Amino acid sequence: MQHVHREEKFLRRAQWRAKALAAYDEAMRDIAAGHFPATADERRCPNCACYSICPAP
């Protein structure tokens, strides 16, 4: 078992949060810009509320 200092654990958690926030920010920018292409999924699509109007192939 490896000992991890509290500061190291805090830094790892902070780095993970920074990556998650960056991904979230990128997704929000894409949505705001209208860049959210639909991707077909043969398992999920038939159950989707937008199935009949979806532009996914």
Could you report the per-residue pLDDT of 1-47, keeping only the tens digit for each? 566 678 888 888 999 999 999 999 999 999 899 887 888 899 999 99
In the chain, what are the domain boundaries? 6-47
Under a CB-based contact definition with an 8 Å cutoff, are residues 46 and 55 in contact?
A: no
- The pLDDT of residue 19 is 93
- Where are the extended beta strands (E) located within the chain? none
Query: If you search the block for the tokens 């979230």, which residue do you land on?
Result: 24
Cα 12 versus chain centre, distance = 20
**Prediction pTM value:** 0.51
C-alpha span between 54 and 43 (Å, rounded): 15
pLDDT of residue 4: 62
Give the three-state DSSP class for 14.
Answer: helix
Residues 6+ apart with CB under 8 A from 48: 54
